[in-house]
A and B are shown apart, each in its own frame.
Chain A
Amino acid sequence: MIENKTLTELIRAAIPDAEIGIFDRTGTMDHFNVTVRSREFGGKTLIEQHQLVYGALKGALKDGRVHAVELKTIVAEE
């Protein structure tokens, strides 16, 4: 279980300009649909963009606060 606020903070720690949308898919606060929009994604492949976000969520996924993430990344224009 994790609060949207905590999830947002974790992602912002790695991607400071991130605009983040979070949807709790199951109502149990551990299966999320996450959309991240950032300039940091520019020039990166889709896999690299996702790896950037997953890097930020690594701890929360490992300790079980987050079980599953459906992730969408969007490149923000300069």
Chain B
Amino acid sequence: MDYQEEIEREIAANPILVYGKGTKTAPRCGFTLETIEFFDRFGYPFEVIDVLENAPKREALAEMTNWPTLPKVFIGGAFYGDTDILGPMAASGELQTKLEEVFGGPSEQRETIQLR
């Protein structure tokens, strides 16, 4: 199976995509949970794909990004590392600008918070 092709398809299909350990509702790693909570604050839809049990896919991801750890975050098709990168980008406002560009406007953050 060609994981690179599968990964490219997933990245193209999801404006915010997190490859992590565990799922959105059942994260199995503190850093994955931290990343989910991070994006919850922004109010844009995002997808989490669990690759904990899929070693060859994890390997393909590491090769593609030159980044050995999980989670790995993709926004608008580009690799953005993890919250060590996104945290400073959020603080500077750069991330908000990028997300508005990708989603074509500000998020409906209030509604999202009510839903949770």
Which A residues form the contact surface with B (CB < 8 A)?
46-47, 50-51, 54-55, 57-58, 61-62, 68-72
Can you sample 22 A-B contacts with CB below 8 Å? A46-B81, A46-B88, A47-B79, A47-B81, A47-B85, A50-B67, A50-B85, A51-B66, A51-B67, A54-B68, A55-B66, A57-B68, A58-B68, A61-B68, A61-B69, A68-B29, A68-B31, A68-B69, A70-B31, A70-B84, A71-B84, A72-B84
Chain B residues with a Cβ closer than 8 Å to the other chain, count: 14
A68–B26 Cα gap in the complex (Å)?
19
Which B residues form the contact surface with A (CB < 8 A)?
29-31, 66-69, 79-81, 84-85, 88-89
Contact present for B80 and A47 (CB under 8 Å): yes
User: Which residue on chain A has the smallest CB distance to residue B81?
Assistant: A47
